[in-house]
Amino acid sequence: MSAEGMASRHTTHAPVDDQWTIIIRPQRGWLDLRLRELWRARDLVALFIRRDFVAGYKQTVLGPFWALVQPLLTTVMFTLVFGRVARLSTDGLPPFLFYMAGTVVWSYFSACMTKTADTFGANAHIFGKVYFPRLTVPIAILISNMVAFVIHFALFLAFVIYFWLDGAAVKVSASVFLLPLLLFIMAGLGLGAGIIVSSLTTRYRDLQNVVTFGAQLLMYATPVIYPLSATPAKYRVLVQANPMTPIVEAFRGAFLGTDTVSTGALLYSFCFMVVALTFGLLLFNRVEQTVMDTV
């Protein structure tokens, strides 16, 4: 074939117009969260959800049944230690249900916060190889933990029905319809707190060691093992300042009938969540641009 023919053939098969699907820019503003990219990466979120769920129970004896065993054993321990030995008040509710209600709510928030706090550290090997919206990882953590929450919640409802049939003073109120709002606030608080810590740990790695311990301490500042009514007056303001307090109290009030649902307190939690989540997203957006230089 002649040189002219080869050149003509090469020109025929050359692309006429390059269509770029994504443009990676190193610098962007604080408010440029690129939420459209996050929506386009929803399939990747689904893959991360599957990864988190499978990795959590892979090579375990009980597998997914741990999602049932963990809250059950925690509730039994709380009932024995705080109910039988310490004899803490439960506002007249069956101690087992009282502690399980607090455990179900706290487990979801705590898992979201602690796992999201390790976003950059646990995924540095992925972040350094390929570009994708980094927020897909913490979003996937929220949803995968939601699966565990549904299992815990189903177990809790089963015990509520059992105690109700057994004649316990338990009644479900109309506040149960607030459950989606409670979940939304818990998810927002967990995501906001988690991504703030994850952003800070890129420079101060010892903060990661404080997260799990801090979550345990925060649980004692939340009415998980005691009712808000039993809190001494001089400490009650501190407990009420905890944004998770209205969530736990509202959950118990809705499903156990303690009449502790406060609209004003829930509004405080919602506002706190909005502030924490907004600050966390802005900080996360700023840090992710240079994270691979420090992790």
**pLDDT per residue over 226-251, tens digit each?**
998 888 888 899 999 999 999 999 99
Question: pLDDT value at position 261?
Answer: 73
Name the one residue in this structure whose structure tokens are 């994850």. 198
Which residues lie below 8 Å from residue 242, measured CB to CB, with a gap of 6+? 218, 221, 222
- Give residue 125's identity as a one-letter amino acid code: H
pLDDT of residue 20: 59
pTM beyond cutoff 0.85:
no
Q: Give me the pLDDT at residue 173, please.
A: 85
Mean pLDDT of the residues in the chain: 82
Q: Where are the domains of the chain?
A: 67-284
What is the three-state SS of 51-75?
HHHHHHHCCCCCHHHHHHHHHHHHH
146-185 tens-digit pLDDT: 988 999 999 999 999 999 998 888 888 888 999 999 999 9
Amino acid letter, 232: P
Q: What is the biggest distance separating any 2 CA atoms in the chain, rounded to whole angstroms?
A: 96
| Residue 246, CA distances (Å) to 100, 114, 190, 261 in order | 17, 21, 15, 7
Cα–Cα distances (Å) from 259 to 36, 37, 169, 179, 254, in that order, read 42, 43, 13, 15, 7
First-residue to last-residue Cα distance in the chain: 55
Q: Residue 101's pLDDT is what?
A: 94
Give per-residue pLDDT as tens, 211-224. 878 888 899 999 99
Q: Tell whether the model's pLDDT for residue 42 goes beyond 50.
A: yes
pLDDT of residue 23: 58
At residue 33, the pLDDT reads 64
